[in-house]
Homo-oligomer: A and B are copies of this chain.
């Protein structure tokens, strides 16, 4: 990657944002034959946070791009997704992730460190000849004379056939298309990893386990195998509804709220909670779905287009799906025929394919999260529903994981 001092040469596509969505798009577009530049405002390409889940709709694409083997070597294949009640610890339902699951959905389910996925994509982009620029913040994108012009805070102007806004939840470029703002869920996440050899947590290292409780949940899964002979790395995520948020306060989700939020949970959870760092936390936001992601030669994707709550663990996967679908529409519209200037068609086709689906993922993620956090009779009904689920029933996952 490089910093630049002089205005860069024009590329087919300029991607604004070097997170998972931006880098995955760089990989996909390179494979479509496009020349790509990625600009990132930070001094380097990195991911904050701890673990991340990759369902088959993401790993299928990694496999096609030749990246799955590397990703698998860094991550873990859990045996099952297990949902337990956080108060009594009872198993409510599980999704086996073995051979039948992989056959059905055409890829494995992996869990990994967020930075490992980012680095796999970054190396793939480098190998594909993507120009990677850091310390460059794009403030403005305009479409003039059939070209997109992106102006950076540095004064540099980038020229491209298409600019992709992959600048995340707080996207600057989304402002061109919508005046909506992120929606606070009132839930906050504390997360972190610990080496199993250094803690006395009685965690299930075979599975992704989500303990779901009234106004809170707690997730545990291993994300690295036998790391440095020090045993496995356990990822833990503690999420709860902030009482300060409910009181309408502007400062919410602070560390003083953590222990009380899990006070009614099983002892196992309260003990493990002691190992979750309190020095950082993430306020959980999403946005309302919007239909239109294209304005002139600007296209939004990833969290900039469809930020979602984390409950379906689909943030990374939907960004990777975006990249794969954009690869296909660009291949068809731009490089497939005689007309070499059909970038807008490609972006609009991409928009029409992806927006209805990601809107459903955004809405379902909210509802799925709500169902995790119910109390009283809602909890009773939820537990009865989940417990009575036929484990061979795939209608909860087919729409999300199956081949598009």
Contacts and interface: CB of A to CB of B under 8 A. Distances in A.
A63 interface: no
Contact of A367 (B371, B377, B382): B377
A377 B370 contact: yes
Interface in A361-404: 367, 370-371, 374, 376-378, 380-382, 384-385, 388
Contacts of A374: 377-378, 381
Contact of A371 (B370, B371, B377, B388): B377
Contact of A377 (B378, B380, B384): B378
A381 B370 CA distance: 10
Interface string A171-184: 00000000000000
Contact of A378 (B378, B384, B388): B378
B388 A381 contact: no
Contacts of A382: 381
Nearest to A390: B388
Contact of A388 (B376, B380, B388): B388
Nearest to A393: B388
Contact of A380 (B371, B380, B384): B371
A389 B384 CA distance: 10
A34 B50 CA distance: 76
Nearest to A382: B381
A376 B382 CA distance: 13
A110 to B, nearest CB: 29
Nearest to A372: B377
Interface string A317-349: 000000000000000000000000000000000
A200 B376 CA distance: 40
A316 B384 CA distance: 29
Contacts of A388: 385, 388
A384 to B, nearest CB: 6
A358 to B, nearest CB: 21
Contact of A370 (B367, B370, B376): B376
A112 to B, nearest CB: 31
A376 B378 CA distance: 10
A378 B371 CA distance: 8
A385 B377 CA distance: 13
Give the interface centre of A367, A374, A377 by most chain B CB atoms within 10 Å. A377
Nearest to A387: B385
A371 B381 CA distance: 7
A381 B367 CA distance: 10
Nearest to A378: B378
19 contacts: A367-B377, A367-B380, A370-B376, A370-B377, A371-B380, A371-B381, A374-B377, A374-B378, A374-B381, A377-B378, A378-B378, A378-B381, A381-B381, A381-B382, A381-B385, A384-B385, A385-B385, A385-B388, A388-B388
Complex A-B, nearest 5 residue pairs according to Cβ-Cβ distance, in ascending order: A370-B377, A378-B378, A385-B385, A381-B381, A381-B382
Given A370-B376, A377-B378, A378-B381, 14 more contacts: A367-B377, A367-B380, A370-B377, A371-B377, A371-B380, A374-B377, A374-B378, A378-B378, A381-B381, A381-B385, A384-B385, A385-B385, A385-B388, A388-B388
